[in-house]
Amino acid sequence: TTLLFLSPKDLYTAPDSCEGRCEEPYSEEDECHCNAECERYHNCCEDYYTHCRPEGFSSSWDAITDEDLLHISEQLYKADHNKARPTDITINPQYQASPDETGDQEDRSPQPLYKYVNEELFSKPTYASFIKLLDNYQRATGREEDVTAEELREQDNFLKEVMKTELMKKLFAFLHKKNRYDSEQEFVADLKEMWFGLYSRGNGEQDSSGFEHVFSGEVKKGKVSGFHNWIRFYLLEKQGIVNYFSHNFNGPWDTYPEVLGLQFSWDGFYKEVGSAFIGCSPEFEFGLYTLCFIARPGRACHLSLGGYSLSIQTYAWTKSTYGNGKKYIATAYVISP
């Protein structure tokens, strides 16, 4: 006769909570999971971020609640003093594609998306420093980025200019109050790493960063990857390098920032759905994406802008880290309803 000795662990069925279970080895028996890989596979327990975030923010006074996010996002929306005025931009969205048409790669809009942009906007310090960053990247993944001293200065200058704005000062004050950063200097240093730190999307080459992917855009396996910025789109459309095909979502705003889900071609490479804020300042996008990456990495981050609901999705790069196990930004974008 064989005796089977069951340990208490064999008899234990994990609850749908991460309390006391952080970094527990994966088991297919569990209803939900509490190790770092659960973010990648989207099978974390609902309270994973409360109990198991690497920074350990588990007490109620420094947790970022859903209500906090609605409140701070409205504050940032109101603080976007550099956004376009209604007279600064005229867009021509033309054809609205249905969900089963977004993959067709068919140009259903003969005219450009932008009829008019007041380019005086681009002389504002945050716009000017942002635009200087856009040509610093090789768009093909798998090609090593060669970062010059001049480009590093441009990164520092952009961060310096955005941190002068009321919007980014409000974001820092919020994160400081929530015990995420002790000083503005620490915040800026972390922004530089999470957004501009290089990692490999290819075969080991330092070929990508969060900023390049989200704002400048990349080409991977013959398709456009990232590219969620209206200024970048306008400048390339004006040069004839981007061809607007259609949109599949138009947000409820009657002023800027507006939100569109776009179909377009970039030098012959196609983007099936590229959501973008239109008419916001660079610091607005940069700030909202940063907020959501810190507060809700790897899952939908629910915000309120001018009384309207909007969600942002971010993902962390999981294959390499900086500092004490901190994650780079892999992507960030508006979720079109």
Q: 98-107 — which CB contacts under 8 Å span 24+ positions? A: 98/248, 99/248, 101/246, 101/248, 102/246, 102/248, 102/263, 102/272, 102/273, 103/272, 105/245, 105/265, 105/270, 106/245, 107/243, 107/245, 107/246, 107/265
Instruction: Judge whether 228 counts as a catalytic residue.
Output: yes
Q: Which one is catalytic: 178, 213, 247, 327? A: 213
Q: Residue 302: CA atoms inside 13 Å, Cβ hemisphere, count?
A: 5
Q: Residue 276, SS3?
A: strand
Q: Yes or no: say if 284 and 265 are a contact pair by the CB < 8 Å rule.
A: no
Q: Which one is catalytic: 178, 228, 247, 327? A: 228
Which residues, in sequence order, are CB contacts of 60 under 8 Å at separation 6+? none
Phi, psi of 189 (to 5 degrees): -60, -40
Q: Yes or no: say if 279 and 300 are a contact pair by the CB < 8 Å rule.
A: no
Instruction: Judge whether 271 counts as a catalytic residue.
Output: yes
- What is the rounded CA–CA span in Å between residue 99 and residue 321? 36
* DSSP bridge pairs for 114: 91
Query: How many residues are present in the chain?
Result: 337
Joined together, the tokens standing for residue 318 give 């999981």
Q: CA angle, 330 as apex, 102 and 84 as ends, to 5°?
A: 65
Instruction: Judge whether 51 counts as a catalytic residue.
Output: no
Q: Which one is catalytic: 178, 220, 271, 327? A: 271
Joined together, the tokens standing for residue 174 give 């919020």
- What is the rounded CA–CA span in Å between residue 337 and residue 335? 6
- The DSSP call for residue 199 is B
Alpha helices, DSSP H only, in the chain? 8-11, 37-41, 48-52, 66-78, 125-133, 149-162, 166-177, 184-196, 210-211, 230-238, 282-295
| Residues that are catalytic | 213, 228, 271
